[in-house]
Amino acid sequence: MEKFEDGLKFAYLEVKPVIHTFVFELKKQWKKFVGFLVISVLIVVLQSFILYALFSDSLLPTTHSDYLSGGLIFLTSFIILFASCFFFAGIICAEFSDKTGYILFPKINKYKLIIGKYLGNLFLEAGVIAIFYFLVGFLSYFFYDQFSGTLLIRYFISFVFAFLYMIAMSSFVTFFSSFMRSVNVTIVSTILILFIGFNISQMFLMMLAPEIEPIYSLSYISTLITSILLIEFPDPNYSEISLQNFTFRTWLTPTIEMGLLVLFLYITIGFILAAYLFKRRQL
């Protein structure tokens, strides 16, 4: 019994710095959370309520699933992307810009510090996503007076994919944070790559090699979050238009299996590289 209690006490002492850092990060980043929450609520009210309730209910999508899918587009295209860049840009590089990353004998293990900071920001952004999903789902019930069991399950699966997509985004930003010099440079760089770089590369790939699916692009993977809500999942997952001797192919969404694989690859590789570069930077 004493060994068990000693083990619990040891485990608590090991986890305690992470918990303290987690709580401190919540207090430190609450303004960002409130900012993105306000933006999210305004977007949901404008695109999912005022547009249909006050202007014209004739614009209301014919199916419940189409309403949910359309209501989540801003979340997948803008909110998760920008929130990830702002929440996770300072995970590692802030320690070096503030000179705390160079302390040889810190009072807290640096990896525990980074984990606590990461979990705190992850919790805050997950809160924004969860509230966005709740609001869109609640308003959809207001318009359609029902929420079938099958659609509810698919809505939950969509939320799981949104959560995994957020983690993949956070690993990408954390990786950049591990070698960038400042938080602002990390934010600008990751936004440019995620918001502009991936989309431009997809356009060039569509023109030069339309038969190649852009599975490397996180913006392309994000389409799975809304596509999974549609009554009929796109099959095939692309559309083609032929003009003279050239065929334009537009990739609509990855398959569920491919989406999961790419997300887990981003998460795994991003965190491994971030940890490796963080260690080298300390040395």
Cβ atoms of residues 226 and 210 within 8 Å: no
Q: What is the pLDDT of residue 97?
A: 64
Q: Name the nearest CA neighbour of 46 among 69, 66, 74, 65.
A: 74
Q: Name the nearest CA neighbour of 83 among 159, 162, 19, 200.
A: 162
- Assigned token pair, 144: 């359609």
Q: What is the DSSP string of 213-264?
A: --TT-HHHHTHHHHHTTSSS--SSSEEEEEETTEEEEEE----HHHHHHHHH
Cβ atoms of residues 135 and 44 within 8 Å: yes
- Whether the CA torsion 255, 256, 261, 264 is positive or negative: it is positive
Residues 6+ apart with CB under 8 A from 104: none
Q: Name the nearest CA neighbour of 162 among 192, 194, 139, 130.
A: 130
- Whether the CA torsion 165, 71, 235, 81 is positive or negative: it is negative
Burial class of 126 by CB neighbour count within 10 A (0 to 12, 13 to 18, 19+) = middle
Q: Name the nearest CA neighbour of 229 among 75, 71, 79.
A: 71
pLDDT tens digit string along 74-113?
999 899 999 999 999 989 888 776 555 445 445 667 888 8
Our CA angle for 61, 78, 266, nearest 5°, is 115
Q: Which domain holds residue 55?
A: 2-282
Burial class of 116 by CB neighbour count within 10 A (0 to 12, 13 to 18, 19+) = buried
Q: Structurally, how many domains does the chain consist of?
A: 1
Q: What is the pLDDT of residue 129?
A: 97
Q: Name the nearest CA neighbour of 195 among 70, 83, 33.
A: 83
Helix or strand holding residue 110 (H, E): helix 110-144
Cβ atoms of residues 198 and 220 within 8 Å: yes
Question: How far is the CA of 26 from the CAs of 62, 69, 74, 232, 245, in angstroms?
Answer: 41, 31, 25, 40, 57
* Mean of pLDDT over the chain: 85
Residue 183 carries which DSSP code?
A: H
**pTM summary value:** 0.90
- Assigned token pair, 155: 């809505």
pLDDT tens digit string along 190-218?
999 998 988 888 888 877 887 888 999 99
Q: Which parts of the chain register pLDDT below 50?
A: 101-102, 104-105
